[in-house]
């Protein structure tokens, strides 16, 4: 580098050093050496050379850093973890050397602070990914211990699109990814080609905080996203699958809910206060463990699957379910009771403590405590309007068999492949994912609400040919 011309101002010195610092420590030291018309060395406290200009000055710089009292003619600046040594030219005034070294040290400190922040940034990202994997592997207690949180539920968002990596880099802090106990917790990480946000919250408190933030991310970067229902932490794997299924039906820039029901969902139709009071009254006899067991059973669809979620034996789950049925005075194998209970489990918490309990009954799909008969009929009719009579009968029969195709096909007199095809038509006509337990529950309540004596397999109208087995 050329020597420092006399006309170079203090401002130009600072500007040249700042521009060099924007590239690297080595370029900053090289610029400092050029401005000082000598050499410059950055040494660490262990006696190593971090960078030097020229390279041959490194060993001498290390010796100077180790014994500064022996080299009063050199300029030595100490900072955390390093020492800057500058040997200026003989013609340079001391004020200019002081400016160069002080500016250089300040810039080195800024770069060190930026590196520490970046390291913290990456460490926090790795922590979010590790906690997500703990939740997916069914270890919620370890996850909450790591985070130091009292959260009991999680809502999972899964987003994909061409700009997913840009969205992650831009918005992961905007989505409040923090393990601090003072702020709402959102885990934000990349999992394969997906941006994943897991909002951690209580049963009711904070359950809706994340959605507006994630919706803005999806809209800005044109990402298609799926959103799960809020589920207990030990069911995050189920929430993960729900969000993935929902994402497949989402359009760019939008979020699709796992229930897919939108304004037709009962959580949006039944007044929130009324639904919360009814839910609390229905579930009042259950303790926390029984509550978790019931939700795992209803969402997973079987005692065997619930056992895997709860990390207990299948026999333990069945024993708990028998006692839960006794406490609720309800037949848990009844499809209508199951649908009502799943609705109760999804309801928000009441604002006031409920002192009385309520019983379920399969005689009325939607209790009058929730909707009066006319409102219930209008809701069910609007939800199922896209289906013709054969599809409505087939869907109702399948839901009565709790989503099992073989027994439903037998009762309907259809082959399993034909019933599967009809169910696919139902899903497309309703724009719903029939694999969702929540969707099936609300469809069952709707189908039973508007069912007439004509809506039975025996009254299934013929379409000619060999559509139905066992018929002439």
Is the Cβ–Cβ distance between 37 and 89 less than 8 Å?
Answer: yes
Would the pLDDT of 395 be above 80? yes
Q: What is the pLDDT of residue 40?
A: 92
Would the pLDDT of 321 be above 90? yes
Is the Cβ–Cβ distance between 130 and 41 less than 8 Å?
Answer: no
pLDDT range class, residue 421, cuts 50, 70, 90: very high
Lowest mean pLDDT among 12-26, 138-152, 210-224: 138-152
- Number of Cβ within a 10 Å radius of residue 205: 14
403 φ/ψ sector (left φ>0, alpha ψ -120 to 50, else beta): left
Q: Which residues contact 145 (CB under 8 A, 6 or more apart)?
A: none
Mean pLDDT along residues 48-71: 89
pLDDT range class, residue 430, cuts 50, 70, 90: confident
Mean pLDDT is highest, among 244-258, 397-411, 448-462, for 397-411
pLDDT range class, residue 177, cuts 50, 70, 90: very low
Would the pLDDT of 243 be above 60? yes
Higher pLDDT residue, 363 or 97? 97
Mean pLDDT along residues 294-302: 85
pLDDT range class, residue 205, cuts 50, 70, 90: low
Would the pLDDT of 463 be above 70? no
Q: What is the pLDDT of residue 400?
A: 92
Q: What is the pLDDT of residue 467?
A: 53
Q: How far apart are CA 369 and CA 347, in angstroms?
A: 14
Q: What is the pLDDT of residue 184?
A: 47
Q: What is the pLDDT of residue 178?
A: 47
The overall average pLDDT reported for the chain is 83
Higher pLDDT residue, 203 or 429? 429
Would the pLDDT of 185 be above 80? no
Is the Cβ–Cβ distance between 281 and 357 less than 8 Å?
Answer: yes
pLDDT range class, residue 318, cuts 50, 70, 90: very high
Lowest mean pLDDT among 31-40, 73-82, 116-125, 381-390: 116-125
Would the pLDDT of 120 be above 50? yes
Q: What is the pLDDT of residue 350?
A: 73
Q: What is the pLDDT of residue 188?
A: 87
> Is the previous residue joined to 329 through a cis bond, with omega within 30 degrees of 0?
no
Q: What is the pLDDT of residue 4?
A: 45
Is the Cβ–Cβ distance between 335 and 402 less than 8 Å?
Answer: yes
Q: What is the pLDDT of residue 140?
A: 83
Mean pLDDT along residues 270-285: 87
Higher pLDDT residue, 266 or 392? 392
Higher pLDDT residue, 385 or 346? 385
Mean pLDDT along residues 442-465: 81
Percentage of the residues of the chain whose pLDDT score is greater than 70: 89
């Amino acid at each position: 580098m050329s020597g420092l011309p006399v006309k170079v101002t203090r401002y130009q010195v600072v500007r040249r050093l700042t521009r060099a610092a924007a590239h690297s420590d080595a370029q900053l030291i090289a610029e400092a050496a050029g401005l000082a018309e000598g050499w410059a060395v950055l040494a660490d406290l262990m006696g190593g050379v971090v960078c030097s200009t020229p390279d041959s000055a490194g060993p001498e710089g290390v010796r100077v850093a180790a014994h500064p009292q022996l080299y009063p003619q050199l300029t030595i600046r100490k900072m955390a973890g390093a020492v800057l040594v500058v040997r200026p030219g003989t013609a340079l005034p001391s004020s200019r050397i002081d400016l160069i070294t002080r500016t250089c040290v300040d810039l080195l400190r800024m770069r060190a602070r930026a590196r520490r922040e970046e390291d913290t940034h990456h460490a926090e990202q790795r922590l979010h990914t590790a906690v997500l994997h703990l939740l997916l592997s069914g270890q919620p207690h370890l996850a909450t211990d790591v985070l130091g949180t009292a959260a009991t539920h999680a809502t999972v968002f899964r987003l994909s699109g061409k700009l997913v990596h840009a969205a992650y880099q831009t918005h992961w802090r905007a989505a409040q990814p923090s393990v601090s106990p003072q702020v709402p917790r959102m885990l934000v990480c990349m999992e394969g080609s997906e941006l994943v946000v897991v909002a951690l919250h209580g049963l009711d408190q904070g359950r809706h905080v994340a959605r507006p933030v994630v919706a803005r991310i999806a809209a800005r970067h044109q990402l298609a996203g799926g959103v799960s229902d809020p589920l207990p932490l030990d069911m995050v794997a189920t929430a993960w699958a729900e969000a993935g299924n929902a994402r497949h039906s989402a359009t760019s820039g939008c979020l699709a809910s796992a229930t897919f029901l939108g304004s037709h969902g009962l959580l949006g139709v039944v007044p929130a206060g009324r639904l919360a009071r009814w839910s609390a009254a229905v579930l009042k006899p259950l303790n926390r463990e029984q509550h978790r067991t019931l939700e795992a059973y209803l969402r997973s669809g079987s005692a065997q699957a619930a056992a895997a979620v709860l990390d207990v034996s299948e026999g333990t789950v069945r024993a708990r379910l028998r006692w839960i049925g006794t406490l609720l005075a309800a037949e848990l194998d009844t499809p209508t009771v199951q649908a009502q209970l799943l609705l109760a489990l999804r309801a928000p918490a009441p604002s006031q403590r409920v002192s009385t309990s309520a019983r379920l009954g399969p005689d009325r799909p939607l209790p009058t405590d929730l909707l009066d008969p006319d409102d219930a009929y209008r809701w069910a009719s609007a939800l199922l309007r896209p289906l013709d009579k054969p599809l409505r009968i087939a869907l109702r029969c399948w839901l009565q068999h709790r989503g099992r195709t073989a027994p439903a096909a037998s009762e309907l007199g259809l082959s399993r492949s034909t019933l599967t095809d009809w169910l696919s038509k139902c899903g497309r006509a309703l724009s719903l994912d029939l694999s969702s337990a929540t969707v099936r529950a609300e469809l069952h309540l709707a189908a039973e609400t508007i069912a007439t004596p004509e809506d039975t397999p025996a009254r299934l109208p013929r379409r000619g040919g060999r559509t139905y087995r066992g018929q002439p």
